[in-house]
Amino acid sequence: MSGTSKTPKVGIMRSPLGRARGLGSAKAGAAHWWAQRLTALALLPLTLWFLCAAVRLIGATRDDVVSWMAGPLPLVLMIALVIATFHHLQLGLQVVIEDYVENDALRVGGVLLVKAIAVLLALACIVSALRLGL
Amino acid sequence: MRDVRDALMVARNSDGKLIRRPLSPHLQVYRWPISMAMSIAHRVTGVGLGIGALLLTWWLVAAAVSDDAFDSVQWFLATPIGLLLLFGWTLALFFHFFSGIRHLVWDAGFGFEKPWYDRSAWAVVIATGAATLLLWIVGLAVW
């Protein structure tokens, strides 16, 4: 660890197949996979709730939306829905981009852009929900 | 012949005519099994629901901003294009919802037998159609 040794240490812990392919490990694949399933599970009841709420809000005025959102349950569930939706969305779009974009710069740039947009849209939704409900 | 490898691609068909062999089977030469269509549709609807998320964002932000902004969203959603978008959104949402349950069942370690594969796929298609229809009947009745 002194930095003076000239022996290359990189790659020593890799399997022969891993060294031949040179692609490294899957890194945070398990955490990504698990987060996608967890948000999917959360979205099952949240989506059903949202669809029921949406049907009741058909043709609603802005005052109707405000009085609906003023209840503690709609506000909390809406924010939960927004967080789960955008988290699930950016995880899924990341996989799609990684599958089809071969160019390194475009792929990494695309994934970062999708994540940035997802975070900003989610924040816009949360702030709006809080302004309506509080 | 553009490349020496093309020499390996030359063959004769049953009429004795020289032809170029096809490459390894691509998407267009496969018979479409339902499981393949489901897999592609799950991904396509997932990306499509991203557009639905934009619609939700617009609606929420407009409601928080002003009466005018909210009125313009409500007006747009009632136009034919808006209704078409909403219909596509509910269709994609229900498909991704039911197909997602199918995926979660696999993730839990069940449902890998071939008959279940096909039957669950058709169940997802039927459930998607029925739920979308039901939602729009109720929705149009309320509207």
Q: Does the ipTM surpass 0.95?
A: no
Give the pLDDT confidence of A49-67 residue by residue, as tens digits: 999 999 999 988 999 999 9
pLDDT of residue B28: 72
Q: Is the pLDDT of residue A1 over 50?
A: no
Residues in chain A within 8 Å Cβ distance of B138: 55
pLDDT of residue A24: 59
Segment (H or E) for B38? helix B34-65
Taking the Cβ of residue A92 and every Cβ of chain B, the question of whether any pair is shorter than 8 Å is answered with yes
Please name the member of A44, A93, A121 whose beta carbon is closest to the beta carbon of B47: A93
Non-local CB neighbours of B69 within 8 Å, separated by 6+ positions = B61, B62, B63
Taking the Cβ of residue A125 and every Cβ of chain B, the question of whether any pair is shorter than 8 Å is answered with yes
- A24: helix, strand or coil: coil
Q: Which residues in chain A (21-50) have CB-CB distances under 8 A to chain B?
A: 37, 40-41, 43-44, 47
What is the Cα–Cα distance from B17 to A88, expressed in whole angstroms?
54
Q: Is the pLDDT of residue A19 over 70?
A: no
> CB distance B63–A89 less than 8 Å?
no
DSSP letters for B52-82? HHHHHHHHHHHHHH-HHHHHHHHHHHHSHHH
Residues in chain B within 8 Å Cβ distance of A89: 46, 49-50, 53
> CB distance B97–A40 less than 8 Å?
no
Give the pLDDT confidence of A118-128 residue by residue, as tens digits: 999 999 999 99
Per-residue pLDDT of chain B (143 residues; tens, 9 = 90+): 567 777 788 888 888 898 888 776 666 777 788 988 999 999 999 999 999 999 999 999 999 999 999 999 999 999 999 999 999 999 999 999 999 999 999 999 998 888 898 999 999 999 999 999 999 999 999 88
> CB distance B97–A132 less than 8 Å?
no
Taking the Cβ of residue A67 and every Cβ of chain B, the question of whether any pair is shorter than 8 Å is answered with no
Give the pLDDT confidence of A64-112 residue by residue, as tens digits: 999 999 988 999 999 999 999 999 999 999 999 999 999 999 999 999 9
CA B60 remoteness from chain centre: 26
